[in-house]
Amino acid sequence: MKQIDFLFHRPPLEDKKMIRTEQRQFKRYETRQLLDYLVMDEQGNPGEYSMATTLDVSCDGLRLETVQPIEPNTTLKITMELEDTLVDLEAKTTNTGKRQEKYVAGVNFIRMSKDGRRALVRYIDTLQ
């Protein structure tokens, strides 16, 4: 079977002076779920492996809670189980911060298989 990857691309803003009140294109749904991730270095080599908990998910990203800080613009390889389907994807951190004793990172999906995309959409449908 042929593997098809989806690449996620957001068009750049035409006017950088434009005030942005809402950056999200898709509604986020609150969910708590374990996932594991691998931090990739700038050359694409695997680095630190760890686990996280999702706080919310949307069609183009998620927010996760970790015990280790993650820098903005870090590429992550994430594996998560969505309705009995293991989904492997690549994501990039967009924002990070600290919340109580843990860290929070928002990520945008940048690569996911067609089957993974279908599983994600089915999962989000159950949250609505």
Residue 19 has pLDDT above 80, yes or no: no
- Per-residue pLDDT at 20: 39
- Per-residue pLDDT at 48: 94
What separation in angstroms does the CA of 105 have from each of 68, 101, 123? 10, 14, 21
* Structural domains of the chain, with CATH: 28-127 (2.40.10.220)
Residue 3 has pLDDT above 60, yes or no: no
- Bridge partner list, 29: 57
Which of 22-36, 41-55, 86-100 shows the lowest mean pLDDT across its residues? 22-36
What separation in angstroms does the CA of 78 have from each of 13, 88, 121, 128? 28, 6, 17, 23
Residue 92 has pLDDT above 90, yes or no: yes
Q: Which pairing describes strands 61-66 and 102-113: parallel, antiparallel, or unpaired?
A: antiparallel
Helices (H) and strands (E) in the chain, counts: 1, 8
The whole-number average pLDDT for the span 97-122 is 95
Residue 5 has pLDDT above 70, yes or no: no
pLDDT band at 91 (very low <50, low <70, confident <90, very high): very high
